[in-house]
Chain A
Amino acid sequence: NAGVTQTPKFQVLKTGQSMTLQCAQDMNHEYMSWYRQDPGMGLRLIHYSVGAGITDQGEVPNGYNVSRSTTEDFPLRLLSAAPSQTSVYFCASSYSPPYAGGYGYTFGSGTRLTVV
């Protein structure tokens, strides 16, 4: 019972490089999301998906792309890394979206990204 698996756990990028953060869940959750967590700013939503083939932007989507080709996987792509993207990234999944009520999130263990 793996839950939500994120890789890598740590990454250092140079400005301008691209990379993909992987997220996979084995709970058959329809709703998946990506958050970034920065000191003093809490968790901010980057992108989310309510099911395979459906994605939408969150609060801070610029510089990031997502896709959802399967229920299980929800990768986050950094197109051209910038120092402002230095953060801790969490993938989270839930049985249903927030507006559908009372299911909380299961979070992955996070990716600590540093852009130099």
Chain B
Amino acid sequence: RKEVEQDPGPFNVPEGATVAFNCTYSNSASQSFFWYRQDCRKEPKLLMSVYSSGNEDGRFTAQLNRASQYISLLIRDSKLSDSATYLCVVNDAGKSTFGDGTTLTVKP
């Protein structure tokens, strides 16, 4: 079993839809969590940190559930420009572990 697992998708949604991705992790001692966005043939870019209390940045909401060991990313009112691969990252005392990514395609 991988330390960090994401549903690879792809998720194909129409513009304006709400879509949610989950990312599960196995190390209960994990300390910090992030979501990155990666466009095709580009580098990953930090989208947002994930805080225990949940956090929101415009149309994006990230949440952490320590009891069930998963983080989530909710995108509301999807735009064409949201099409990308979304990577979760879980940090523990020693390292960062990346998920394999979830691919989102937003269609007109």
Chain B nearest CB from A38 CB (Å) reads 10
Partner of A106 from B46, B94, B101 at Cβ < 8 Å: B46
The reply to whether the CB of A53 lies closer than 8 angstroms to some CB of chain B is: no
- B46 near A105 with CB under 8 A, answer yes
The reply to whether the CB of B32 lies closer than 8 angstroms to some CB of chain A is: yes
- Chain A positions within 8 Å of B91 at CB level: 98-99, 101
B2-38, CB under 8 A of A: which get 1 and which 0? Answer: 0000000000000000000000000000011010100
* With A40-B100, A41-B100 as contacts: A98 and B46 at CB distance below 8 Å: no
* With A98-B92, A98-B95 as contacts: A42 and B31 at CB distance below 8 Å: no
- A104 near B49 with CB under 8 A, answer yes
- B49 near A102 with CB under 8 A, answer yes
The reply to whether the CB of A75 lies closer than 8 angstroms to some CB of chain B is: no
The reply to whether the CB of B1 lies closer than 8 angstroms to some CB of chain A is: no
The reply to whether the CB of A27 lies closer than 8 angstroms to some CB of chain B is: no
Partner of A58 from B87, B92, B95 at Cβ < 8 Å: B95
Majority SS at the chain B contact face: strand
- Chain B positions within 8 Å of A104 at CB level: 34, 36, 46, 49, 89
- B43 near A109 with CB under 8 A, answer yes
- B44 near A99 with CB under 8 A, answer no
- Chain B positions within 8 Å of A40 at CB level: 100
- A99 near B49 with CB under 8 A, answer no
In the complex the two chains form, what is the Cα distance from A101 to B101 in whole Å? Answer: 22
B81-104, CB under 8 A of A: which get 1 and which 0? Answer: 000000101011111101111000
Residues of B within 8 A of A (CB): 31-32, 34, 36, 42-46, 49, 87, 89, 91-96, 98-101
Q: Given A42-B99, A101-B32, 16 other A-B contacts at CB below 8 A?
A: A42-B87, A42-B100, A42-B101, A43-B87, A58-B95, A90-B43, A98-B91, A98-B95, A98-B96, A99-B31, A99-B92, A101-B31, A104-B36, A105-B96, A109-B42, A110-B43
Chain A to chain B contacts (Cβ below 8 Å), 17 pairs: A41-B100, A42-B98, A43-B87, A58-B95, A59-B95, A98-B92, A98-B94, A99-B31, A99-B93, A99-B94, A101-B32, A104-B49, A105-B46, A105-B89, A105-B96, A109-B43, A110-B42
